[in-house]
Amino acid sequence: MKVLYHHRIGSKDGQYVHIAEMIHALEQEGAEVVMVGPRAVDQQSFGGESGWVSMLKRRLPQALYELLELGYSVLDYLKLRRAIREHAPDVIYERYNLYFVSGVWAHRRFGLPLLLEVNAPLLDERSRYSGIALPSLARWSERRAWRGADRVYAVTRVLARRIAQEGVEETKLSITPNGIDPDQFASLPSREAAKQHLGLSGRVVLGFTGFVREWHGMDTMLDLMAAHPELNLHLLLVGDGPARAALEAQAEQLGLADRVTFTGVVERDQVPLHVMAFDVALQPAVVPYASPLKLFEYLAAGCAVVAPASENIREILSDGINALLFDPEQPEQRTAAILQLARDEALRTRLGEAAARTIAERGLTWQANARTVLEDAQRLLANPSRAQVGRST
């Protein structure tokens, strides 16, 4: 089967990882993949963002920038049309973005099944964090994309319910959480060997991966470490972010500078080795609809995870079974869970072993997601009326 993978991401971050992993998984399942999306992202270093997009966001009035986002769909449709005519794909697989309706146009024009991956309700998200200047137009574009697809893949049940509120039939919705590639973790050294490699032997390592922001609460981890020097804790932050400078200053003030490691941006193939060094893996906060990539890396590495007991997290984790969960409204519960794990190696081992089993038991891999997508595509292609599916607006 030939899959046209369609996206509009502009930064080489978790979104890029998701795309790269899904393409690899689709190819492992025997599909041929043709990519249509911004080319600039491939030339960026990991963690980078398109410079001209950032410049436009800063300098243009917000309403004009949003109109340009929608206008991009016109240019993108022309690229899609060329790619469809040149490569004759069987289906379009698209990563949803706001003001991005060119995939629906191509679906209607060429009669190709459209499979839509939704990772966040971007209208809600942008309205909350940066504001939307043209809310009616934004809502039209979101509904157009969601309702216009033959199949919609949401990363959590929470998100699927949100999509259904916009009139998407439940029969068209599937839940495909983020996942991992088990091969990336198959040949990792033991936890002690990973810690030795990173110069952390003999320490109880608290670990976090990703873009560190203030709301992740890493400052409270430093306070905990200062309050319990007898536990020999070390904080390993794999990534970078706006909270780094303040955390480094706090660590220096508390006399913990040698107990905190900021790796900076790490290449993707080096992340599993770092995660393997975590004794306690931290998922300190999460938006209510997300499926955090880091969570699946923690599970694959057999880490003892501490995470909030929000509904989306409980779709994957069970308190006391494969993680310790805390009430996000009661941060003292998080501290208690971390201290419990730091003091109890046997509990860390038991939870970590169950965490690792969760991947296989639940099929939390990119290849399983790719298999679902291709099976759905085959059913749509076998349906004589498929050209009529998804044409509601």
- Which CATH number does the domain housing residue 333 bear? 3.40.50.2000
| Shared domain check, 266 and 384 | no
User: Cα–chain-centroid distance for residue 202?
Assistant: 32
Average pLDDT over residues 241-247: 94
| Shared domain check, 351 and 202 | yes
- Could you list the residue range(s) of the whole structural domain that residue 347 is in? 183-362
| Shared domain check, 225 and 172 | no
Look at residue 268 in the predicted model and tell me its pLDDT. Answer: 86
247-273 pLDDT, tens digit per residue, is 999 999 999 999 999 999 888 889 999
- Kindly give, in sequence order, each residue whose CB lies less than 8 Å from that of residue 103, ignoring residues fewer than 6 positions away: 6, 80, 92, 94, 114, 116, 145, 148, 149
Please report which confidence band the pLDDT of residue 51 belongs to, taking 50, 70 and 90 as the band edges.
low
Residue 390 pLDDT more than 70? no
Residue 393 is assigned to a structural domain of this protein: no
Does the global pTM surpass 0.85? yes
| Shared domain check, 289 and 272 | yes
Residue 220 is assigned to a structural domain of this protein: yes
Look at residue 45 in the predicted model and tell me its pLDDT. Answer: 52
Look at residue 57 in the predicted model and tell me its pLDDT. Answer: 75
| Shared domain check, 192 and 155 | no
Which amino acid would we find at residue 154? Answer: A
| Shared domain check, 142 and 187 | no
Residue 99 is assigned to a structural domain of this protein: yes
Residue 245 pLDDT more than 70? yes
| Shared domain check, 141 and 13 | yes
Whole-number Å distance between alpha carbons of 137 and 87:
32
Residue 358 is assigned to a structural domain of this protein: yes
| Shared domain check, 340 and 232 | yes
Residue 215 pLDDT more than 50? yes
| Shared domain check, 69 and 187 | no
| Shared domain check, 339 and 227 | yes
Residue 169 pLDDT more than 80? yes
Strand partners, 94: 6, 116
Average pLDDT over residues 182-195: 93
Look at residue 388 in the predicted model and tell me its pLDDT. Answer: 42
Whole-number Å distance between alpha carbons of 145 and 392:
10
Q: What is the DSSP letter of 170?
A: G
Task: Count how many domains the chain has.
Answer: 2
Please report which confidence band the pLDDT of residue 56 belongs to, taking 50, 70 and 90 as the band edges.
confident
